Amino acid sequence: MSDWDNVTVIGKSKGPSTRATVARSTGAINAARRSGAVVSVDKKYGAGGNKTNSPEGQRLAKVDRDNEVAPPAKIDVSVGRAIQKGRQDKGLTQKELASKVNEKPNVINDYEAGRAVPNQQLLGKIERAIGVKLRGKDIGSPLFAKKS
């Protein structure tokens, strides 16, 4: 007998499948029980997703809230008013000021409303564009003192 007569098959199982199958409906579970198959019913914890009436979950959420880092400070409202006043004195819209400082108009809107996290580089650009101090002391005063 030569080696050409032997056949090797890879990947075929020789017996019944030992892999567990999952029955998703009660009808499938009942059919498996009727046929005599081994049936194991396990309760899945956390199934249903958004149920928050678990006291353990509430306790963990409280622990998470206790460890949170404080949100970054927002810009002061007085700075926002100074930006708005300086912009209006120059006759600029928010869109025009935004294009002067290479930003989006909603960034200027956030600064004027006091919702933005202060960026010193951007505040410097806005100061130069509208000619009003926005940092340090004397917020709202002219950036360049007039020489007499």
Structure confidence at residue 57 (pLDDT) = 59
* Fold of the 77-130 domain: 434 Repressor (Amino-terminal Domain) (1.10.260)
CB-side exposure of 76: number of CA atoms within 13 Å? Answer: 8
Instruction: Quote the CA–CA distance of 5 and 48 in Å, as a whole number.
Output: 57
* Domain range summary for the chain, segments of one domain joined by +: 77-130
Among 73, 71, 83, CA closest to 135: 83
Question: With 70 as the cut, is the pLDDT of residue 147 above it?
Answer: no
* β-pair partners for 142: 132
Q: Which residues, 6 or more positions from 128, have their beta carbon under 8 angstroms from its beta carbon?
A: 143
> Which pTM does this prediction carry?
0.52
Burial class (CB in 10 A: 0-12, 13-18, 19+), 91: exposed
Q: What is the pLDDT of residues 33-78, one digit of tens each?
A: 888 877 776 666 665 555 555 555 556 566 556 666 677 788 888 9
Q: How many CB atoms are closer than 10 A to CB 32?
A: 14
Q: What is the pLDDT of residues 4-29, one digit of tens each?
A: 677 777 766 665 555 667 777 888 88
Q: What is the pLDDT of residues 74-130, one digit of tens each?
A: 888 899 999 999 999 999 999 999 999 999 999 999 999 999 999 999 999 999 999
Structure confidence at residue 101 (pLDDT) = 94
